[in-house]
Amino acid sequence: AQSVTQLGSHVSVSEGALVLLRCNYSSSVPPYLFWYVQYPNQGLQLLLKYTTGATLVKGINGFEAEFKKSETSFHLTKPSAHMSDAAEYFCAVSDRSGDKIIFGKGTRLHILP
Amino acid sequence: IAGITQAPTSQILAAGRRMTLRCTQDMRHNAMYWYRQDLGLGLRLIHYSNTAGTTGKGEVPDGYSVSRANTDDFPLTLASAVPSQTSVYFCASSAGRGVYNEQFFGPGTRLTVL
């Protein structure tokens, strides 16, 4: 069975600093991996996804994530945080034949001026 | 293009009452999902449907039912609401399974059961 662990329910970074949100997954088969973002009072939006091929995936708004099979990780990064990045971020995993996506519990990102 | 619409936006409901949350998508997606979002618990899947006419249970299906009479609509019914069903409910859709399983979310329904 697939599962996702997000380390840190809250992360604070200063504006302009590196953003690093951690995600580890458990999957018995090669996974599909996703990062979603949720702005206040809105639904989730896809940031990026890994399916096959290049392990460094670039998404919207300057975010990227690297699939590391040996570490079972899919951490999300952004070189320079903006105030508009303040939101909740969800890592998710879907197996290759699954009907469902399993979401992590989310990490709320706070941007300090 | 509206994407996914949900109604109502919010609702306060007395315990024991029946309630149907509506979800409609215009993307002709095969699969649809209902999640509940609770603080500290993330999103949990309630029910899903891979295609019109079929439904399946997710992680927390008790107290909820769904139907999928056509491609566009996927209503979620609480037969007899209880306070523990107070939550924000999100409907989502995707073109299909596996590599196509990128999910698109509606704006949510905030439900309070008193």
Both tokens of A97, joined, read 């034949």
- According to the model, what pLDDT value does residue A41 have? 85
A53 touches chain B (CB under 8 A): no
pLDDT digit string (tens) for A40-60?
888 999 999 998 888 999 999
H/E stretch holding A38 reads strand A32-38
- According to the model, what pLDDT value does residue B29 have? 94
A104 touches chain B (CB under 8 A): yes
pLDDT digit string (tens) for A12-29?
999 999 999 999 999 877
- According to the model, what pLDDT value does residue A53 have? 86
- According to the model, what pLDDT value does residue A99 have? 74
Q: Given an 8 Å threshold on Cβ–Cβ distance, is A32 in contact with B99?
A: yes
Q: Given an 8 Å threshold on Cβ–Cβ distance, is B99 in contact with A106?
A: no
- According to the model, what pLDDT value does residue A5 have? 95
A97 touches chain B (CB under 8 A): yes
Average pLDDT over residues B106-111: 96
Residue B100's pLDDT band, with cuts at 50, 70 and 90, is low
User: Is residue A46 within 8 Å of A36, Cβ to Cβ?
Assistant: yes
| A/B interface, count of CB pairs below 8 Å | 60
C-alpha distances in Å from residue A68, one per residue of A29, A62, A74? 14, 20, 6
Residue B84 has pLDDT above 90, yes or no: yes
Terminal Cα-to-Cα distance of chain B (whole angstroms):
36
Q: How far does B95 lie from chain A, in Å, by closest CA?
A: 11
A9 touches chain B (CB under 8 A): yes
pLDDT digit string (tens) for A57-97?
999 999 999 999 999 999 999 999 999 999 999 999 986 66
Residue B97 has pLDDT above 90, yes or no: no
Query: Distance (Å, rounded) from C-alpha B1 to C-alpha B99?
Result: 23
Residue B79's pLDDT band, with cuts at 50, 70 and 90, is very high
pLDDT digit string (tens) for B35-67?
999 988 889 999 999 999 999 999 899 999 999
Average pLDDT over residues B16-30: 96
DSSP symbols for A40-109: TTS-EEEEEEE-SS-SEEE-GGG-EEEEETTTTEEEEEESS--GGG-EEEEEEEE-TT-S--EE---EEE
Greater confidence (B103 vs A87) lies with A87
User: Is residue B68 within 8 Å of B32, Cβ to Cβ?
Assistant: yes
- According to the model, what pLDDT value does residue A96 have? 61
Q: What percent of chain B has pLDDT over 90?
A: 84
Cis peptide leading into A31, omega within 30 of 0? no
Residue B98's pLDDT band, with cuts at 50, 70 and 90, is low
User: Is residue A81 within 8 Å of A14, Cβ to Cβ?
Assistant: yes
**DSSP-based three-state secondary structure for B85:** helix
Q: Given an 8 Å threshold on Cβ–Cβ distance, is B45 in contact with A97?
A: no
H/E stretch holding B89 reads strand B87-94
